[in-house]
Amino acid sequence: MTTAALIEELKTLVEPGKVLTDADSLATYGKDWTKHFAPAPCAIVFPKSTEQVQAIVRWANQHRVALVPSGGRTGLSAAAVAANGEVVVSFDYMNQILEFNEFDRTAVCQPGVITQQLQDFAEDKGLYYPVDFASAGSSQIGGNIGTNAGGIKVIRYGMTRNWVAGLKVVTGTGELLELNKDLIKNATGYDLRQLFIGAEGTLGFVVEATMRLDRAPRNLTAMVLGTPDFDSIMPVLHAFQGKLDLTAFEFFSDRCLDKILDRGDVPAPFETRTPFYALLEFEATTEEVAEAALATFEHCVEQGWVLDGVMSQSEQQLQNLWKLREYISETISHFTPYKNDISVTVSKVPAFLADIDSLVNSNYPDFEVLWYGHIGDGNLHLNILKPDALSKDEFFAKCATVNKWVFEVVQKYNGSISAEHGVGMTKRDYLGYSRSAAEIGYMKAIKAVFDPAGIMNPGKIFPL
């Protein structure tokens, strides 16, 4: 069958107008926020129901057509990029919150529900959906599940995985599975739900997710603290964790602050400039908690770990302090950064940072390097900015050389080459630095069980 004939058949499976093949749509829906690969899908299909998703997957099996799932397209590892003539399955029209259960504190979401839509829904019910990150206004729940999204509150609330009570998935054969039935306790063997979380659509598509909600946090209060060096950040974390129950502990370098202040719409936290900044957050539920925070701050100053600091006194100030960290990714995106998203256990962070920092300084002397991330949970974002003079291809090739050394250090510390952005296509060649050959063998075998025809997001996680 020709591609044109296949697309005509695909059109019969969904509502009129729900298959697009115009150049603009192919370019838009064929990519995510990465700039490494040129989008080249053959069509975009927009199912509106589980039955339509099943029909699309069965059709793809019959004709051996590769499918790429697409959510808010905010991914940073090219897991939702269609660069090889695939059909993109967009969940934009499966975007409803179908049910709410106040006793179970759960919301049943279609995959196209925007993260912020769920956060706002929870807030309306007096509850909280705690998985949060800068792209919450565009990212979709299905994509968050596909990458097991993390973000800025992981230190308290964990990753997306912790909030998925149950899933309905369409496997690579078109079969519908209901996984875990939203139970808290369920000791009936393998928890297949967990396999689909972080699978990047390589086993099947999520068509419904029951998400847990939490109690709303009380009087969230943030502090930004300026530190004299990398080495002071972890003692600050340790000191505050000894006194407070933190909801976040982030860090960023002075170079990041420069970029944010250049925008002109975010105030500096304080006048002193320091090489690094920690942003921490806690619930200031009582006067005693706020006093403990201030006493800990003073202790950190006495120890020489902190040079200056500020504590939010209003909701507006809280938001402004968060912008210093949350706006970094978007603000630097026009520099076409090469992104490393690496993690180690928290206790290893100081030694790991020192190793990576010296490696980067000796190997990227001409490039601007930005450090930021979720240091409180061991996740560091190392961003290398592209100099104007270099083409994208030359720049990524240079980064790839140093990458290997960075990943060797990650391996030495038993860390992860992708803490929260996923493997997709950008990290697939490096999987062996975090997973053993035996493990990768089992992973491929699992894929073959759920996707025997190899049509579900091929070339993601593992090379083609």
Residues that bind ligand MLT (CB under 6 A): 133-134, 328-329, 339, 381
| CB-nearer residue toward ligand MLT: 261 or 292 | 261
Task: List Cβ neighbours of 185 (8 Å cut-off, separation of 6 or more).
Answer: none
How far is residue 170's CA from residue 165's CA, in Å, rounded to a whole number? 17
For ligand MLT, give the closer residue by CB, 205 or 249.
Answer: 249
Q: Between 133 and 297, name the residue whose CB sits nearer to ligand MLT.
A: 133
Min separation Cβ 141 and ligand MLT, Å: 17
Least distance between ligand MLT and beta carbon 339 (Å): 6
Residue (of 153, 151, 276) closest to 225 by Cα position: 276
Beta pairing partners, 221 = 282
Nearer to ligand MLT (CB atom), residue 56 or residue 385: 385
Contact between residue 179 and residue 166 where contact means Cβ atoms under 8 Å apart:
yes
Is the Cβ of residue 86 or residue 132 nearer to ligand MLT in the bound state?
132
Give the shortest CB-176-to-ligand MLT separation in angstroms: 32
CB of 202 or CB of 340, closer to ligand MLT:
340
Shortest Cβ distance from residue 116 to ligand MLT (Å)? 15
- Cα dist. 320→110, 178, 368 in Å? 32, 42, 26
**Phi, then psi, of 191 in degrees rounded to 5:** -95, 90
Angle between helices 50-63 and 3-11 in degrees, nearest 10: 160
Are 79 and 30 in contact, with CB atoms under 8 Å apart? no
Q: How many CA atoms within 13 Å lie on the side-chain side of 291?
A: 3
Smallest gap from Cβ 378 to ligand MLT, in A, equals: 13
- Nearest residue to ligand MLT, by Cβ distance, number only: 329
Q: How far is the CB of 421 from ligand MLT (least distance, A)?
A: 6
The nearer residue to ligand MLT, 130 or 458, going by C-beta atoms, is 130
Q: Are strands 276-283 and 67-70 parallel, antiparallel or unpaired?
A: unpaired
As measured in angstroms, the least distance from the Cβ of 334 to ligand MLT is 13
* Cα separation values, 105 from 120, 160, 164, 210, 219, Å: 14, 16, 12, 10, 21
How far is Cα 379 from Cα 5, in angstroms, rounded to an integer?
A: 47
Strand partners, 310: 224
